[in-house]
Amino acid sequence: MTRVNVLIVDDSAFMRKLITSFLQEDPRINVVGTARNGIDALDKIKKYNPDVVTLDVEMPEMNGIEALRQIMNEYPRPVVMLSSTTKEGAENTLLAIQYGAVDFISKPSGSISMDLHLIKDEMVSKVLLAGKVNVDLLKKPLNIQEETTNKLVDYSKIELDSNVNVKKIVCMGTSTGGPRALQQVLPKFPKNFPSPIVIVQHMPAGFTKSLADRLNGLCEITVKEAENGEFLKAGTAYIAPGGFHMKIKKIGTTLAVNIDETEIRNGHRPSVDVLFESISEIKGIPKIAVIMTGMGSDGSNGLIKLKETGQVFSIAESKDTSIVFGMPKAAIETNLVDKVDNLDDIASTVLRFT
């Protein structure tokens, strides 16, 4: 059996020991070394040539963000970030994903988490998955304009009026690699895009607001974390809040967001299946469904439900551009996907059908 060789980078000796212990319990993982900061990490990568690096964000001398930039420039390989759920931690995590990190793990209670055992299984699965990703797709930072747009964003509830009558809806599902994918797709939609976009990105609570804010600054359309009870309007993308399912319900000629904490589906809340299934119950409105990079099969059952209703055009991201070709592959295997697109072409395909 080929094992995944891992380097663990954290400024806390306690955390290094704990993470090592958890990962070494799985026979498929071999911890080849540890490092106490970014500078030490670069030396250890050169020495041990690990398959995967787990990298703490907050460290002295050289933090995780700077270390990641050098790793992807000099020794490109899959990196899984460990981050706190503070606002600053969430923003740094999203920046790390832009610079090439394959995924992140949220520490339950800050930099030194005595309850790290709560995410033990997640750590093991994400490290194993990282060993299988397409590193070539992660090498180069995303070429994204960093200047934020000057549009006024209104996060309050939208009033019910003729401006929120929905003629068509776009629904998207993403997981591992999704933040990078969304940063490449959503900025291509024009400000006057005639439909609302609803998105499930697998993320824990505390991260989706930062993701929405970051995307909002990069896009001509408005991007926001969805709020319970608000009405959908054209030219706005709504991201399901971490830890909650998002469902869309028809009210008269309008569509409204329903957020709840019903049971976890496919190991996820929010779940793409839950979103898609709720949209499948909406009659008389054409739908465009998009499934992009991610581990597992979330979204496939929802796609089946959507297709049963008709008036659905479905798109899956290609293997060539998927960081993880799990969710798109599962969707394609339903034989219900109308078009398989490289990431750069997804927005233009959606625009042709709206």
Catalytic residue numbers, as ranges:
175, 202, 298
Q: What secondary structure does DSSP assign to 47-79, as a single string?
A: HH--SEEEEESS-SSS-HHHHHHHHHHHS---E
Where do we find the tokens 């551009």? 321
> Tokens in use for 163?
């401006």
Q: Which residue carries 């000057």 as its tokens?
A: 150
C-alpha 268/C-alpha 248 separation (Å) is: 18
Helix orientation angle between 343-352 and 178-185, rounded to the nearest 10 degrees:
50
Contact status, residue 115 vs residue 109, Cβ threshold 8 Å: yes
Residue 73 CA, chain-centre distance (Å), reads 23
CA distance 109 to 94: 19
Q: Do β-strands 254-260 and 245-251 pair in parallel, antiparallel, or remain unpaired?
A: antiparallel
Helix (H, G, I), strand (E, B) or coil at 265: strand
Which residues lie below 8 Å from residue 232, measured CB to CB, with a gap of 6+? 164, 166, 169, 196, 198, 238, 248, 254, 255, 256, 257
What are the angstrom distances between the C-alpha of 354 and each of 40, 113, 299? Answer: 51, 47, 21
Q: Which residues have C-beta within 8 Å of that of residue 152, sequence separation ≥ 6?
A: none
Between CA 138 and CA 135 the distance in angstroms is 5
